[in-house]
Each structure stands twice: as structure tokens, then as C-alpha cells.
Amino acid sequence: MLKPEQNRLVIQTGPGTPMGALLRRYWIPVMLAEELPENECPPVRVKILSERLLAWRDTQGRLALTDEFCAHRGVSLWFGRNEHNGLRCPYHGWKYDHTGQCIEVPSEPSESGYCQKVKLKSYPLIERGGILWAYMGAPDLQPPVPEFEWATVPPAHRYLTKRQQECNYLQAMEGGIDSSHVSWLHSGDLHTDPLHKNTKGADYQRDRSPKFEIVQSPGGLYIGARRNAEEGHYYWRITQWIMPWYTMVPPYGDNALNAHAWVPIDDENCYTWTFTYHPTRPLSQMELDVMRSGGGIHVPLIPGTFRPIINKDNDYLIDRAAQKSGRSYSGVSGIAMQDASIQESMGPVVDRSKENLVSTDNAIIMARHRLQQAALALQKGIEPAGLTPEGHRVRSATFVLPIEVPFAQAKREDLTVREGVSHTSI
């Protein structure tokens, strides 16, 4: 469990907080590139780490992420006109360029230079792998661009989505590194979902008592969950946790790899990103159709929003009859929303002082500890892990090993990106 002050440290991410300072040192996935489809398209509201911002493309296609509010009298620039390499406030005509610099104050003589004294807060925004990434930390400490494999494969090899989740980022992320719940919460879907069924990995998870081994990695943790396989062997599921909020889901058969990111909107909401990709082949039409309809670990959304159709307001459309009959273990449809329903049921921010943790929670304990220590160390000027390509170029994996063979020694190269070589999976 965590004491209340420890809980506040890891969950509060707004400006001026220790965890907020840590998270701002990383490139942050904030938008799908398609949300800003063309030059001079309407600006888009972006709330990240409790900051209200606007994203837009100017006439030359330069990306901008600036304060939402005009420096004059606080009007939301979402109502602004995106025109001639700037965003103009409709109230009194003040205009800002893509760096947030005010370039026109129509009521003041141009020779006064007044507008040069006015600048909105702004952050770098780049496009990589179909995602718009923001850096919100100190400019002189900007890290290298993201090198996650899903951001570097050809577009036909990946499928990316994001959705709103109505809880703190940490309790959502903790669900992503908890491999023991798969044999319970998702047990029905492993044998019916087209991207999971008929794989040996799904069969091995009938063993509902996994044992965990966790090893430090350059960017986070290797989380090994082992279950009994054929005599004298263990089935291993290796989840990658990459600081500060990424998990890579252990794969099934020749199906694609999956990863998540949980990015705080504020302290009570987050964006759940899902990255599905295959290192060596395009995704098939079947895979795309399944994911677009809410299969795999993707979710159907209310049109025009990032809110799931299945949500807490309709009790996640839980089917008690299916739950009772065994057709669905949880009664909630879809692997992703099974996770979200459980995580949101804890409330917007779970009280971790009431927990009773057990051995299968070791990965969660270690991830919390690493985040806490990194946030406190940053206050002393110590750089966090996971900023460099070495921490990004990793993969999850599943495999069977003799019981006496440590996974981290035998399969270390399978846990890294190897160009032109597919991932290790059963």
C-alpha cells in the first residue's frame, strides 16, 4: 500500500508537482496526426497534465501547441481564425504565430513594438509515426525523438487509437502491468476473440496462478509471468514497462504486437493509447476489421469523440446473463473495456492506503517505486531513465523454457527490436 502523501506524489501531475516535472521530461503522445489534417485547419483543444492548450497547423504546415487563452483578456483561442501563418483572436484581433509569439495587436501602433512583449506559453510539437508528440519540459533538456517500434514501422504495419478513460493514469497503467488478471477477467475472450483464440498462449493461461520475476531494464522493467506448460517447462509472458507510462502486451501466435500508453489529461482522467503493429508485415484486412469493430484491445468510440460507446454512464452494457452462463467471465464486452470498467470502478483516484498487496503485485510495487524515486531524484538534477532510443527499442514476448532456465538470460535478444526479424511469440 501507499501512504496518502506517497499516493499524492505519484498521481498528481499538474504544473509544479514532482511527478508533473518528471513526466514533462518525456515526449508525450498527445494527438493522432489525423486530428490536424491540413494547413490552416481549425485548432483543436488539448488538455494534458492539467494544462489547457491548443494544437494547430499554420499556413506553411508548421505545428503549434500553444496556450488556449489570449493574453489580452483571456478569450479561448479555440474560437480563433487560423489564417496567414497565425491564429487570430476573434475578440479584438490579436494574432499569434506557431511559437506563441504575438505578431499583431491591431489597436496599437506597429512602431510601438507592443506585440513583441507578448508571448503565449508554447511547446514543441512533432509528427512521428502517425502521432503528434509534445515536449513540455525545459527546452535545453529536450530528449531525442521517440524510437518506439510502432512509430518507425511503415504505416501499413500499424493501427493506432486513443480513448478517454475516466480515472487517474496510474491505476490504468497498473492494470497494464498486472499479468495475473488475464486468466480471470479476460478468460472468455482469449478463446473467442479472433486475435487471441486458437493460440497456445491462450491455452497456457488456464493456469491461473502465475509466478512473477521482475528484472530492471534500461528504460523500465521486464515483467516475467510464468505459468506451468508441458512437463519440466514454463510458459513465460514478458511485459515491457517503459517509463513513464508505456506497457507492451505479450503477444499471441503470429498476431501483431500491442502496446499502451496512459497519458494524464488531469489527475482524474487520462488518454489510453493503443498501438498495434507488426514488425515484418502489413496488418491484414481481417485484423483491421476486427480492431475497427472493437476486437483485440481496441474500443468503438462515440462518433466525433474519444469516449467509448461502452462507458460508466451505461454501466458498460454489462450482460449479467452472459456472465452467469459463462459466455463472458466479466459480462463486459471487449478486452479493453473489461480493463477500463474495473479501473474506473475504483473511482477517479484510488485510495492506495486501503490496499492489501500480494506477490503477484510485485511489478506494480516496483513500477510505483521507480516512478517515485525518479521524481525525487529529478529534484536533485538526476536524469530519469527511458529518455533514449535504447529504452524504446524493445519488444514484449511469449515463449516456453525449461524450468531451470532464467528468462532474462536465455531470451534477452528476443526482448529487443531486431530489424527484419519478427517478434517471439507462441
Q: What is the mean pLDDT of the chain?
A: 93
Q: Distance between CA 267 and CA 265 in Å, rounded?
A: 7
Q: Which of the 8 DSSP states describes residue 241?
A: E
Confidence of residue 326 (pLDDT cuts 50, 70, 90): confident
Peptide linkage before 244 cis (omega within 30 of 0): yes
Which of these ranges, 21-30, 188-197, 322-331, has the smallest mean pLDDT? 188-197
Strand partners of residue 131: 32, 128
Which of these ranges, 39-48, 124-133, 368-377, 408-417, has the smallest mean pLDDT? 408-417
Answer yes or no: is pLDDT of 222 > 70.
yes
H/E element, 410: helix 407-410
> What's the mean pLDDT in 77-89?
97
DSSP string, 310-354: S-GGGGGG--HHHHHHTSSSSS-SSHHHHHHHHHHHT-SS--GGG
Q: What is the predicted pLDDT for the residue at 198?
A: 63
* Cβ-contact 239, 225 below 8 angstroms: yes
Residue whose C-alpha is closest to residue 17's, from 127, 135, 136: 136
pLDDT tens by residue, 198-207: 677 677 767 7
Residue whose C-alpha cell reads 493506432 in the numeric block: 160
Calculate ∠ Cα 249-229-415, nearest 5°: 35
> What's the mean pLDDT in 258-267?
97
Cell of 214: 521482475
Q: What is the predicted pLDDT for the residue at 199?
A: 75
> What's the mean pLDDT in 389-413?
91
> What's the mean pLDDT in 174-196?
76
Q: What is the predicted pLDDT for the residue at 394?
A: 95
Confidence of residue 187 (pLDDT cuts 50, 70, 90): confident
Answer yes or no: is pLDDT of 403 > 90.
yes
* Burial class (CB within 10 angstroms; exposed 0-12, middle 13-18, buried 19+) of 75: middle
* Burial class (CB within 10 angstroms; exposed 0-12, middle 13-18, buried 19+) of 303: exposed
Answer yes or no: is pLDDT of 191 > 70.
no
pTM of the predicted structure, to 2 decimals: 0.93
Q: Distance between CA 300 and CA 131 in Å, rounded?
A: 19
In total, the chain counts a number of residues equal to: 426
Show the domains of the chain with their CATH numbers. 34-141 (2.102.10.10), 149-415 (3.90.380)
Q: Distance between CA 312 and CA 68 in Å, rounded?
A: 29
In whole angstroms, how far apart are CA 8 and each of 3, 278, 367? Answer: 9, 38, 15
Residue whose C-alpha is closest to residue 297's, from 287, 283, 305: 287
Q: What is the predicted pLDDT for the residue at 412?
A: 86
Answer yes or no: is pLDDT of 424 > 70.
yes
Percent of the chain's residues with pLDDT above 90: 79
Calculate ∠ Cα 175-215-374, nearest 5°: 70
Percent of the chain's residues with pLDDT above 70: 97
> What's the mean pLDDT in 108-136?
95
Which of these ranges, 47-51, 202-206, 288-292, has the smallest mean pLDDT? 202-206
